[in-house]
Chain A
Amino acid sequence: MQEATAIARHSLAVTRRQYLVWRKVIWPSLATNVASPLLFLFAFGFGLGAVVDEMGGLSYLAFIVPGMMAYAAMFAASFETTIGSFARLDFQKTWDATLATPVTLLELLLGEAFWATCKAMISATCVLVVGVLWGGVGSAAGALLCLPLLLLAAFAFATCGLVATAYARSWEFFSYYFTFWITPMFVFSGVFFAVDRFPAYVQPIAWVLPMTHLIQVVRPLVAGQDVALLEALGHVTYVALLGAAAFVVAYFRLKRRLFD
């Protein structure tokens, strides 16, 4: 128990450092993580919303708001633990400085992932607020219920990003991560279209991606539709397990990379 509080305290000290830095670069950071999903929301909401009457039993706006919430969370968390973490690992040597203190690698990585989760929640919440004002949220209660789910998912997206950082030797490496992980989640996971509209051979790819599972739960909740509890639990478990597995992989890979 004492050890658990020590781990929490040291992890939060790392998170707090990120927060301090973030306050200094708040505007460019908000532009990336908040303005960019909102631009997508407006472009697709107005553009496609004008020609698509309904999608998956919802108005196109109601369809796309939960998708953009998930996307905003996923992108913010991923960006933070790839580009952001790699900068601290590689050229700023912040991790080296941190690990020379009583902070352990476990706590450092937890602190990084916590902060990425915070940023993801800021982005997702902003999209939610705009969605409410625009009339794209069917159930306020359901939307609130989504927030802890998004939190869990954001943490999982963050740990997946840490895996990429653990293997990255240069910035160029992340173009693979963005092309073959982030972009597929953007286009195949049901942000803009229902997954069942894709040909059969795309479906398995879609269901490997954690984003697909997240959206399957978040969308009916935000829209105020019925949610099959057991099915939802399955989706959430998948995301949680993937996140946990990613954390373990990132931890051991970095342990070898940094200490051996």
Chain B
Amino acid sequence: MSAPVIIARGLEKSYGRVHAVRGIDFEVARGRCVGLLGPNGAGKTTTMRMIMGLTTPSAGELRVFGEPVARLTRQLKARIGLVPQENNLDPDLSVRQNLEVYGRYFSLPAALLAERIPALLAFMQLGERRESGVNQLSGGMKRRLVLARALISDPQLVILDEPTTGLDPQARVMIWKRLLDLKRQGLTLLLTTHYMDEAQRLCDEIIVIDHGRILDRGPPQDLIDRHVKGHVFEVQKPLPSGFRDGQWEQEDIGDAILYYVETPRAFTEDLPEDVVYWHRQANLEDVFLRLTGRQLREN
């Protein structure tokens, strides 16, 4: 097995007195898709910016392709593609020109760009819009263009900060397909998302982060098994008087109680007849909420 593409050890970042990242350790192996999940302000974007060399770490070690990020050469930097949270496309330029200008920042020869740009536009289903202005594109098309732009230098690592936020389901599915294609081609992906179905579908490994610290990590199914068993029963309050629920792992969410259960039958046998409940498979969202809490995050 080859060396990890990203290695972070005790990685920290403070802005004045605000500690955005408080010492995290993780590795991203080649060809894997790793998801960084956490509420707003958890430190995800800061971590990604540090990997891109756009933010200088305050402490700790951060290596990309085996080199400390501060000493990343142009050649190594060119092997990283970024899909930032905000679409920072050039609004004054056409779709094709956006890719051309970006390609020149990577010193790609004109002949290579002439070949690669149509291929990328076709890959992202933007071929018909190559001469359109960026402002004429829909939200989904802009996002696809940002992804095409991130691929212009044929990178080995692609960092995606909320790649599908705000898109309609069709556009999300299309982007998922493309990301899975990239994974099949052997690219390493690091992504953040607020959509747990997206993380579950795309990621080999999840890192849950909050307040700048890692809360847990592992393959999606492992996290589900570990924190929320396999099944969730949501039982409405008030609970029937005869119901002795002490033996079940549970969480009070106000107007109802959630029970995390491995074998549903054992639980339903315990349940009085007249109780109102809702039974569903446990998912990553349950893990996320259990680990990071249910309070609203305003930043």
Contact = CB atoms under 8 A, between A and B. Distances in A.
Interface of A: 6, 9-10, 13-14, 16-17, 20-21, 24-25, 92-94, 96-103, 258-260
Contacts of B153: 101
B101 A17 contact: yes
B97 interface: yes
Given A17-B101, A97-B102, A102-B77, 11 more contacts: A9-B107, A17-B90, A24-B92, A24-B93, A92-B88, A92-B91, A93-B86, A94-B90, A100-B54, A100-B84, A102-B74
Contacts of B86: 93
Contacts of A13: 101, 104-105, 107
A121 to B, nearest CB: 22
Contacts of A98: 105
Contacts of B55: 259-260
B105 A259 contact: no
B82 interface: yes
B235 interface: no
B196 interface: no
A101 B93 contact: no
A1 B97 CA distance: 30
Contacts of B88: 92-94, 96-97
Interface string B82-113: 10101011111100010001101111000000
- Mostly, the A contact residues are helix
Contacts of A21: 90, 92-93
A102 B92 contact: no
B102 A25 contact: no
B-side interface size class: 20 to 34
Contact of B105 (A10, A25, A96): A10
Given A101-B106, A102-B107, A259 B97 contact: no
A163 to B, nearest CB: 22
9 contacts: A17-B90, A21-B92, A24-B93, A97-B89, A97-B90, A100-B82, A101-B106, A103-B105, A259-B55
Contact of B56 (A9, A97, A259): A259
A101 B54 contact: no
A40 B105 CA distance: 39
A16 B113 CA distance: 16
B93 A260 contact: no
Contact of A25 (B54, B74, B92, B107): B92
Nearest to A100: B82
Nearest to A13: B104
A259 B50 CA distance: 9
B104 A6 contact: no
B106 A102 contact: yes
Contacts of A258: 54
